[in-house]
Amino acid sequence: MQLKVKWVFFDLGSTLVDETAADTRRIKEMISGTDVTEEVYREKRLEMIREGRNGDLSAIEYFALSKTPWHSEDEVPYPDAVSTLTRLRRRGYKLGVIANQNYGTEQRLKNWNLHHFFDVIAASAELGMVKPDPEIFEWALKQANCRPQNAVMVGDRMDNDIAPANRLGIHTVRLKRGLGAYHEPQSDDETPEYTISTLEELFDLLQ
């Protein structure tokens, strides 16, 4: 079975954009001056993720750390981001972003040479809506003049990307990247229609 959609919506972090450097920087800043090592923090975070919990929030609470700011400037697009978006546009798909992001998403997309691919950008900081709130998905669909069944959401997180999209009737594709790859669905809502390991596999699903 292949997806018959007109719009492809993407999350950004750990989907189109590699957060590895930003994640490492935050961990180093949080554990600075404590006896917690980066290795121990990462191990505890993975353990909590596998238990179905929010890994970072749970690990921060476990070690009694203070959450430091996220440095979006450390993020970079994955090597396959531009090629994937280019192919999708050439095949006639409309593209959008639905993402929880710090202020300045559009400028970052321009800096990454990705902005021109997108017709709709739903970024949480600017809109005052945060996934998994369905309102941010509904806003994006309204801007796109698109019915839920004519769209697909591609993201790494089942709680923020897959579950809310499923509830609205948007098709869902889970991309197993980053920390999200270690999560398992906790409910039917969090179960994606399709799961892929690379963006290239998306083309096997789309007509």
Query: Which pLDDT score is estimated for 45?
Result: 96
Residue 127: count of CB within 10 angstroms of its CB: 16
| Structural domains of the chain, with CATH | 7-19+75-204 (3.40.50.1000), 20-72 (no CATH)
Query: Which pLDDT score is estimated for 52?
Result: 84
User: Token pair of 194, please?
Assistant: 């399709």
Phi, psi of 156 (to 5 degrees): -95, -20
Query: Which pLDDT score is estimated for 132?
Result: 97
Q: What is the pLDDT along the chain (207 residues), one digit of tens a residue?
A: 578 999 999 999 999 999 999 999 999 999 999 999 999 999 999 999 988 888 999 999 999 999 999 999 999 999 999 999 999 999 999 999 999 999 999 999 999 999 999 999 999 999 999 999 999 999 999 999 999 999 999 999 999 999 999 999 999 999 999 998 998 898 999 999 999 999 999 999 997
| 3-state SS string for 27-38 | HHHHHCCCCCCH
CA distance 97 to 105: 10
Whole-model pTM: value is 0.95
CA distance 2 to 152: 12
Task: Note the Cα 159 to chain centre separation in Å.
Answer: 10
